[in-house]
C-alpha cells in the first residue's frame, strides 16, 4: 500500500496536534466527518469563528452565493450573529469562496482551514455547498443546540469528491402523510449527509398526496381513507382505528419543497405510481379501472388488485396528471413506479385480452411493458426521462428507462447489461423500514432485519459487470416505506443512523471505507444529530449475542460490540448482568438449558440494551447439520446451525439469526447425531406470513440411517391450510422409537402463490426454525 493511502486511512479518526498559533498545547483535533472525505490531512491549530468573521465571495456566481448563504444561515443558528456573504478580495479571519475549473469532479471541492482563514474551492456551487456541510461537521456538536458567540474548528486540508452522481433517499407519504415542514427537516438531514436526490413517493393505494387541478376528486376522495390498519398486516383478526385519515400537498406547497431542496442542491424526483398501486385514484375515478366499479381508498397495507386499465381514457388521465407534475417538478426524471402490478383484472378483462392480441403482446407482462413504454414516449416527448422499479424489465424494457433495482441486484445487473442506467436500492441493504435490531422491544416494523453494519457493508457495483457496464450504475438510494411509520420521531428513528452509513456508501470510495473507522466517527456524529433534534436510534452499544452451532462441536455464543473502553459482562442463571458479572473474553460454550444475558458497560455504567437468550436443549442441540440447498443469502441466519442451536426464532419476525429462508426450494437437512441414538419424535416450526409471500410447506417427512447413505422412511405428514391468525406453523412427527445416527428431514415447499394473494404468480418463500429431536 502506498504511504499516501496509509495517511488517508490513519487520519480518519483522531490526531494529536502540536502547539497552535496562540501557543496553547495539548489540543486534540477531531475530524468526525460523515461521509468520509476522499483525502484528509490534519493540520495544527484552530480557526476561530466569532462576530468579526466574514464570508467573502471571490467569484460572483449566483449559485455560489446560495452555498455561501447556507453557511451564513448555519452561523446565525450557531453563533447568533448575522454574517452576510459579500463579494470581495481575500483577507484574514474570513471564509473565502471561489470556483476553480481545474477541479475535475462537478461536485468536488477543496477545503483548507488554517488559523487565519478558511478557503473553499469548487468546480461548481454544489461542491461548495458540500464543503459547507463538511465545515458544519467540524463545528462542536453543542453549537447545534445552544448558540455560542465564538467557537473554533480544527485546521485541516481536505480534497473531496463523490463516488456516485446519484445519491438518493426516498420517502413514502402515501401510507402516512408528512407535512411540508417535516419534509423540509428530512431534506435538511439529507443535505448534511451530501445526498443529492429526494425521491418523493406521492401516490399509493392508501392515498393520493398531490393536488391535480384538472382532477379535483383526487383531493376530495383519493387523499382520504376511512380508517387505518392497526398492528401488522399479518395480524388476525384485523383491527382498524376507525379514524378518517387525510392529507395532500397543494401545488404551491410542492413547489415550496422543490425550491427548498434546490437551495440545498437536492433534486426532487416525484413518483406517480402506475399501472399498479392505483386504488386511491380509481376510488376517485372508477372509470380508470378495468371493472368500472366503485372502490374505496384502501385501508389495509399490501397490494391491491385494483390497477389502471390500459385504455385511451386512462392514458389521457395520466398524461394530464403528468403535465401538471412536470410544471411543478423540473427534475430530468419522473418516477412512474411499475412495481407490484397484479394481473388478475387484466386477465379477466376482454378489453385487455383484445389489446394483447391486437399488439401481438406475449401476455399480461407484455401488456405492462406496453403501458410503461406508452408513458415513456409521452414523457420523452416532453423532455423528461422515466425511472421505474425493476418490474419494468418484465415483458421488455422501455427504450430509455432507468431501472431502480429493489428486488435484489439481478434487475440492476440485467438492465446494465442491456445498456440502461441503474440505481441500486436492494431490500437487503437499502430498505430502512426494516427492523434494525433483533431486540423484541423494537417498535413495530414491516419485517426483515437490516442492522447498521450491513447497510455500511454494501457495495453498489456488482462484481459481474464489466468496467463499461459499471458506468451505468448511477448510484444508490435508501427507501423508507411508511406503513408502520406514522410520525416524525418514528421516521427519524428508522432512518438515522442507517442513512449515515448509506451516505458513506454513496459518497466515499469503496477501498477507503471500513466499519470500525465509521463507528469511531459516528459516535460523536450522533451527538450532533441529537443536538439538531433528530431522534436517532443509537444501537452501537446494544449487545448482540450470536449463537454458533451446526458443526457438531456444541453451542458457542459470541458477543459484540468489542470496542475499546466497552466492557461486556454476562450471566447464565437469568440474573441481570452487572459491571461485576463474568467478563466476556471470547466465544463461550453453552452445554445445557439456561437463560443467558449479556450487557455492555463503560466505567461501570451500563450502555446499550442487553441481549437475552433462552436455551432449550434437546437431543440434537449442537449436532452437525448439512443442508441440500443453502438458504437465500439475506435469510441465512447464523448459518445452518441456527436450526439446531436450542433457540427459537421470534414468532413475529422472520429476519435475524434464528430463521432460515428458502425461495423456490424444498428444504432438506441431514442431522448427524454423532452415534446411533434412540429418537421417536420431531417438532418443526415454519413461518406463516402470506402477506410477505411466506407459506408453510405442503408436507414434511423424516427418514433415518446409520451409514448416511441408505435411508428408511420413518414418518411423513401433510400440512393443511394454516390460518393467517397463526404467525407460525408447527409440525409434529411421531414415530416408533428408532436407533439411528442420521436423520434426513424434508419439507416440500408450497409452490406458486395463487391469484388474489399477495405475490400471486411468484414462488412462495419457506422459512424454517428450530428442529427439535426427542
Give the pLDDT confidence of 354-377 residue by residue, as tens digits: 999 999 999 999 999 999 999 999
Overall residue count recorded for the chain in this entry: 774
Strand pairing category for 611-615 and 605-606: unpaired
Task: List the grid coordinates of 237.
Answer: 383478526
pLDDT digit string, tens, across residues 604-650: 999 989 999 999 999 999 999 999 999 998 899 999 999 999 999 98
Are 333 and 384 in contact by the 8 Å Cβ rule? The answer is: yes
Question: pLDDT at residue 15 above 60?
Answer: no
Closest alpha carbon to 47 in 102, 109, 77, 92: 92
CB 125, CB 69: distance < 8 Å: no
Lowest-pLDDT range, 70-79, 124-133, 722-731?
Answer: 722-731
What is the grid cell recorded at 760? 400471486
Q: Residue 4 above 60 pLDDT?
A: no
pLDDT at 755: 83
Phi-psi region of 45 (alpha: psi -120 to 50; beta: other; left: phi over 0): left
Share of the chain above pLDDT 70, in %: 96
pLDDT at 576 over 60: yes
pLDDT at residue 552 is higher than 90: yes
Cα–Cα distance measured from residue 20 to residue 692, given in angstroms and rounded to the nearest whole number: 59
Asked whether the whole model's pTM tops 0.85, one would answer yes
CA distance 499 to 483: 19
Q: Name residues whose C-beta falls within 8 Å of residue 756's C-beta, 6 or more positions apart in sequence.
A: 305, 344
Is residue 653 scored above 90 in pLDDT? no
Q: Which of 249, 247, 311 is nearest to 285 (CA)?
A: 311
Q: Please give, one letter per residue, the 3-state secondary structure of 326-368.
A: HHHCCCCEEEEECCCCCCHHHHHCHHHHHHHHHCCCCCHHHHH
Residue corresponding to grid cell 424454517: 768
* pLDDT value, residue 11: 39
Which helix (H) or strand (E) segment holds residue 256: the answer is helix 251-262
CA distances from 417 to 167, 466, 474 (A): 22, 9, 14
Whether the predicted pLDDT of 384 surpasses 70:
yes
Q: Are strands 28-30 and 197-201 parallel, antiparallel or unpaired?
A: unpaired
User: What is the β-pairing status of strands 660-663 and 582-583?
Assistant: unpaired
Distance CA(30)–CA(464), nearest Å, equals 39
DSSP state of 102: T
User: What's the rounded Cα separation, in Å, for the pair 510 and 164?
Assistant: 11
> Poorest-confidence range of 85-99, 325-339, 748-762?
748-762
Residue-wise pLDDT tens digits, 698-757: 999 999 999 999 999 999 999 888 887 788 888 999 998 999 999 999 999 999 999 878
- Confidence at residue 29, expressed as pLDDT on a 0 to 100 scale: 54
**2-8 mean pLDDT:** 36
User: In this prediction, what percent of the chain has a pLDDT beyond 90?
Assistant: 86
SS3 114: coil
The arithmetic mean of pLDDT across residues 515-533, rounded, is: 95
Flag whether pLDDT at 296 surpasses 90.
Answer: yes
Partners of 479 in the β-ladder: 431
For residues 557 and 546, the answer to whether their CB atoms sit within 8 Å is yes
Tell me the pLDDT of the chain averaged across its residues: 93
**What angle in degrees, to the nearest 10, is found between the helix axes of 180-192 and 125-138?**
90
Amino acid at each position: 500500500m502506498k504511504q499516501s493511502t496509509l495517511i488517508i486511512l490513519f487520519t480518519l479518526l483522531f490526531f494529536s496536534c502540536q502547539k497552535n498559533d496562540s501557543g496553547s498545547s495539548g489540543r486534540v483535533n477531531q475530524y468526525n466527518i460523515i461521509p468520509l472525505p476522499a483525502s484528509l490531512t490534519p493540520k495544527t491549530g484552530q480557526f476561530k469563528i466569532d462576530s468579526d468573521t466574514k464570508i467573502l465571495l471571490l467569484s460572483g456566481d449566483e449559485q455560489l452565493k446560495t452555498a455561501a448563504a447556507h453557511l451564513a444561515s448555519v452561523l446565525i443558528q450557531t453563533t447568533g450573529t448575522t454574517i452576510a456573504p459579500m463579494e470581495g478580495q481575500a483577507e484574514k479571519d474570513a471564509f473565502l469562496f471561489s470556483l476553480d475549473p481545474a477541479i475535475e469532479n462537478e461536485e468536488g471541492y477543496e477545503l483548507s482551514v488554517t488559523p487565519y482563514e478558511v478557503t473553499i474551492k469548487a468546480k461548481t456551487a454544489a461542491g461548495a455547498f458540500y464543503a459547507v456541510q463538511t465545515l458544519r461537521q467540524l463545528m462542536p456538536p453543542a453549537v447545534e443546540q445552544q448558540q455560542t458567540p465564538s467557537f473554533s474548528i480544527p485546521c485541516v486540508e481536505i480534497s473531496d469528491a463523490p463516488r456516485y452522481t446519484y445519491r438518493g433517499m426516498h420517502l413514502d407519504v402515501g401510507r402516512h402523510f408528512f407535512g411540508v415542514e417535516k419534509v423540509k427537516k428530512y431534506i435538511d438531514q439529507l443535505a448534511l449527509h451530501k445526498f443529492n436526490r429526494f425521491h418523493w413517493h406521492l401516490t399509493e393505494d392508501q392515498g393520493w398526496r398531490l393536488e391535480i387541478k384538472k382532477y379535483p376528486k383526487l383531493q376530495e376522495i383519493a387523499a382520504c381513507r376511512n380508517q387505518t390498519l392497526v398492528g401488522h398486516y399479518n395480524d388476525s383478526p384485523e383491527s382498524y382505528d376507525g379514524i378518517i385519515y387525510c392529507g395532500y400537498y397543494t401545488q404551491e406547497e410542492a413547489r415550496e419543497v422543490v425550491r427548498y431542496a434546490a437551495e440545498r442542491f437536492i433534486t426532487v424526483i416525484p413518483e406517480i405510481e402506475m399501472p399498479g398501486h392505483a386504488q386511491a385514484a380509481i376510488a376517485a375515478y372508477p372509470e380508470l379501472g378495468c371493472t368500472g366499479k366503485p372502490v374505496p381508498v384502501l385501508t389495509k397495507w399490501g397490494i391491491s388488485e385494483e390497477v389502471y386499465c390500459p385504455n385511451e381514457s386512462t392514458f389521457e388521465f395520466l398524461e394530464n396528471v403528468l403535465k401538471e407534475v412536470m410544471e411543478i417538478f423540473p427534475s430530468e426524471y419522473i418516477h412512474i413506479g411499475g412495481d407490484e402490478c397484479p394481473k388478475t383484472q387484466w386477465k379477466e378483462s376482454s378489453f385487455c385480452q383484445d389489446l394483447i392480441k391486437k399488439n401481438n403482446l406475449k401476455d399480461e407482462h407484455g401488456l405492462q411493458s406496453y403501458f410503461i413504454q406508452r408513458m415513456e414516449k409521452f414523457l420523452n416527448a416532453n423532455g423528461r426521462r422515466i425511472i421505474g422499479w425493476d418490474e419494468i424489465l418484465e415483458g421488455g424494457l422501455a427504450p430509455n428507462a432507468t431501472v431502480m433495482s429493489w428486488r435484489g441486484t439481478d434487475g440492476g445487473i440485467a438492465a446494465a447489461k442491456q445498456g440502461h442506467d441503474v440505481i441500486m436500492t436492494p431490500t437487503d441493504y437499502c430498505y430502512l423500514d426494516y427492523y434494525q435490531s433483533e431486540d423484541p422491544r423494537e417498535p413495530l416494523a414491516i419485517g426483515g432485519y437490516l442492522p447498521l453494519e450491513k447497510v455500511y457493508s454494501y457495495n453498489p457495483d456488482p462484481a459481474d459487470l464489466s468496467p463499461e457496464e459499471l458506468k451505468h450504475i448511477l448510484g444508490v438510494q435508501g427507501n423508507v416505506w411508511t406503513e408502520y411509520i406514522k410520525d416524525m420521531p418514528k421516521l427519524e428513528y428508522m432512518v438515522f443512523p442507517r442513512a449515515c452509513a448509506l451516505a458513506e456508501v454513496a459518497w466515499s470510495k469503496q477501498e477507503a471505507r471500513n466499519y470500525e473507522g465509521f463507528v469511531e466517527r459516528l459516535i460523536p456524529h450522533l451527538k450532533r444529530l441529537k443536538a439538531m433534534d433528530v431522534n436517532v436510534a443509537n444501537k452501537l452499544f446494544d449487545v448482540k449475542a450470536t449463537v454458533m452451532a451446526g458443526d457438531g462441536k456444541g453451542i458457542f455464543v459470541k458477543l459484540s460490540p468489542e470496542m475499546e473502553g466497552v466492557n461486556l459482562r454476562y450471566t447464565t442463571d437469568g440474573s441481570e448482568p452487572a459491571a461485576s458479572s463474568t467478563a466476556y473474553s471470547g466465544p463461550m460454550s453453552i452445554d445445557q438449558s439456561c437463560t443467558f444475558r449479556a450487557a455492555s458497560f463503560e466505567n461501570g455504567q451500563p450502555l446499550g440494551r442487553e441481549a437475552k437468550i433462552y436455551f432449550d436443549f434437546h437431543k440434537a442441540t449442537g449436532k452437525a447439520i448439512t443442508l441440500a440447498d443453502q438458504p437465500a443469502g439475506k435469510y441465512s441466519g447464523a448459518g445452518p446451525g441456527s436450526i439446531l442451536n436450542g433457540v427459537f426464532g421470534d414468532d413475529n419476525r422472520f429476519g435475524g439469526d434464528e430463521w432460515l429462508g428458502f425461495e423456490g426450494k424444498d428444504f432438506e437437512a441431514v442431522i448427524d447425531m454423532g452415534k446411533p441414538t434412540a429418537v421417536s419424535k420431531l417438532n418443526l416450526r415454519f413461518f406463516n406470513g402470506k402477506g410477505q409471500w411466506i407459506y408453510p410447506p405442503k408436507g414434511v417427512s423424516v427418514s433415518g440411517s446409520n451409514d448416511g447413505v441408505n435411508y428408511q422412511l420413518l414418518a411423513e405428514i401433510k400440512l393443511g391450510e394454516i390460518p393467517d391468525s397463526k404467525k407460525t406453523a408447527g409440525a409434529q412427527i411421531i414415530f416408533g422409537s428408532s436407533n439411528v445416527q442420521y436423520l434426513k428431514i424434508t419439507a416440500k415447499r408450497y409452490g406458486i402463490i395463487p391469484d388474489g394473494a399477495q405475490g400471486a404468480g411468484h414462488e412462495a418463500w419457506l422459512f424454517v426454525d428450530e428442529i427439535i429431536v426427542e
